[in-house]
Amino acid sequence: MAPLRNDLAPVRFGNRRSPPHILTLILLAGMSACVMNMFLPSLPKMATHFGTDYAVMQLSVAIYLGFSGVLQIFVGPLSDKFGRRPVILWGLMVFLAATLGCIYAPSIEVFLFFRMVQAAIATAMVLSRAAVRDMYDQDQAASMIGYVTMGMAVVPMISPALGGVLDEWFGWQAVFWALFAMGLGTAVLAWFDMGETAIPSSKSITQQFAEYPELFRSPRFWGYALAAGFSSGAFFAYLGGAPFVGKEVFGMSPSVLGFFFGAPAVGYFAGNFITGRYAVRFGVNTMVMWGCIANSVGGAISLLIFMSGYGSPVSFFGLMTLVGLGNGLAIPNSTAGMLSVRPHLAGTASGLGGAIMIGGGAGLSALAGAMLTAETGAFPLLWIMFLTALLGLVSILAVIRRERTVLLRGEPAE
C-alpha cells in the first residue's frame, strides 16, 4: 500500500527520516499488551515478597489500567502538538525508568507507584495507531491497524507463559528485567525507525485540548467509539469473570483454566488478520457491523446453552473464540473510523477513544467480578457480555444509518 500523504518519504526500515515500518508499529503495540499480561503469574509470589495480601497485589492491575486510560486523554493532544516520534520516545524512556523502580521497590507502596508509571507505555499503543492514520486513508488505515493489533492478540497468548517460566526459574524480578530488555530494544528500534508521520500543530497545548469539543460534537466519533468500547467491554467483562466461572462453576484446575483462557485471543488474531486482508474491499462500517454481530451471536448462543442447562467448559470458552473474532473485526475498523472523523485530530481521537475503551472495560470487568457468586453461576457474566455486545451493534448501525441519511441529503458527515 502506498502512503496517503504525498509529502511522506517512502518507508525505509531503519531510517528515522522515513515513516515507520509495519514491524516497528506491531512491536510498539504489542509491547503495551506484554506489560499488562506478562507479570500476572507472579502475583502470588510478589504478594509474599512484599508481605501483603493478594487483593492488594491485584491493585497493580487496576491502577495500571486506570492510569493508562487517563494518560491516553493527554497523549493524543501532545502528539498532535509535538509529533508522534518525540512523545513515543519519551513514553518509552519513562517506562524504562519505572520498570527499574518496580524491580528495586522496597515496599508495596513504592512498587504500586512505579507500576502506575509503567502505564507510560500506553503512548506506544495509542500513537502507533495514530501514525497509521497519518499515513493512510480510512479503509487502508483499518487494514494496517488490523495487522498492527495482531501483535496485541499474539502477546496475551504467550507472555503469561513466558512470565511464569521466568518467575519459576529466576524469581519475579526476572519478569521485570525481561520487560526492561524488551522495552529497551523497542526504544532503540523506535529511535532508528520511527520517523515522524504527523505535521506538528502550530496551536498551543491549551488550544489542542480545547479541540476536544470538536470530537465530542461528532455523532460519528461517538458511534465508532461506543462500538469499539462496547465490543471490547464484552472481552474485559470476560477477563473479570472467567477465572471465577472456570474455578467455581466448572471446578477447573489452574493449568486447565490457563489452557482454555486464551480462547478469545485465537479469535482476535483471526479477526485482525481478516481485517488486514479485507477492510479495503468492504469498508470499515461493514467490518465493524459484522464484528459486532459475531460478538453478539457468540454471547447469545452461550447464554442460551446455559439457560438450557447444557453449559460446559467447551461451550463457554469455545464460543469466546467467536467473541474474540468479533473484537478483531470491530476494534481496528472502528478505531480507523474514529481517527478519520477529524484527521487533523488523529492523535487526540486515538487517545480519547482508547480512554473510553480502557475506562469502560475496567468498569465492566469490576462489575462482572462483583456480580458473580456461587448462587448466580455464570449468568451475570453471560448477560453482561451479551448486552454490551448488542449495544456495540446498535452503535455501529446508528453510524451507518446516519451516513446514509446525510448522503441522501447531500450534507457532509459529522
In the 3-class helix/strand/coil scheme, how is 70-120 assigned residue by residue? Answer: HHHHHHHHHHHHHCHHHHHHHHHHHHHHHHHHHHCCCCHHHHHHHHHHHHH
| Radius of gyration from C-alpha coordinates of the chain | 21
Return the domain boundaries, the chain.
18-202, 211-414
Would you list the DSSP string of 203-223?
S-HHHHHTTHHHHHT-HHHHH
Distance CA 233, CA 55 (A): 23
Cell numbers linked to 303: 447464554
pLDDT in tens, 5-56: 555 556 667 667 777 887 888 888 888 878 877 777 777 788 888 888 766 7
Distance CA 138, CA 332 (A): 11
Sign of CA dihedral 271, 275, 281, 286: positive
Distance CA 347, CA 355 (A): 12
Distance CA 204, CA 214 (A): 16
pLDDT of residue 191: 92
Sign of CA dihedral 33, 38, 44, 46: negative
Give CB contacts under 8 A, 24+ apart, made by 211-218.
211/77, 211/345, 211/348, 212/77, 212/348, 212/352, 214/342, 214/345, 215/341, 215/342, 215/345, 215/348, 215/349, 215/352, 217/414, 218/341, 218/342, 218/414
Higher confidence at residue 375 or residue 62? 375
CATH of 211-414, one of 1.20.1250.20, 2.60.40.10, 3.30.565.10, 3.30.200.20: 1.20.1250.20
pLDDT-above-90 percentage for the chain? 23
Side-chain-facing half-sphere of 169: CA atoms under 13 Å: 9
Domain 18-202 has CATH 3.30.499.10: no
Taking residues 367-384, report their average pLDDT: 82
pLDDT of residue 257: 67
Check pLDDT > 60 for residue 103: yes
Give the highest mean pLDDT range of 110-119, 194-203, 240-249, 267-276: 110-119
Query: How sure is the predictor about 2, in pLDDT bands with cuts at 50, 70 and 90?
Result: very low
pLDDT in tens, 224-281: 989 988 988 888 788 767 777 877 788 877 666 667 777 887 888 888 888 878 877 8
Check pLDDT > 80 for residue 137: no
Closest CA to 146 of 287, 349, 292: 287
pLDDT of residue 165: 79
Q: What's the whole-number average pLDDT of the chain?
A: 81
SS3 at position 296: helix
pLDDT of residue 258: 63
Cell numbers linked to 331: 476494534
Which are the contacts of 130, defined by CB distance < 8 A and separation ≥ 6?
A: 76, 79, 84, 197, 198, 339, 346, 347, 349, 350
pLDDT in tens, 297-316: 999 999 999 999 898 889 99
Domains 18-202 and 211-414 fall in the same CATH topology: yes
Check pLDDT > 60 for residue 289: yes
Distance CA 292, CA 370 (A): 25
Cell numbers linked to 38: 506478562
pLDDT in tens, 145-178: 777 766 666 676 677 777 877 887 888 899 899 9
Distance CA 262, CA 180 (A): 25
Q: Are 195 and 327 in contact (CB under 8 A)?
A: no
pLDDT of residue 180: 95
Closest CA to 30 of 143, 133, 153: 153
Query: How sure is the predictor about 390, in pLDDT bands with cuts at 50, 70 and 90?
Result: very high
pLDDT of residue 264: 82
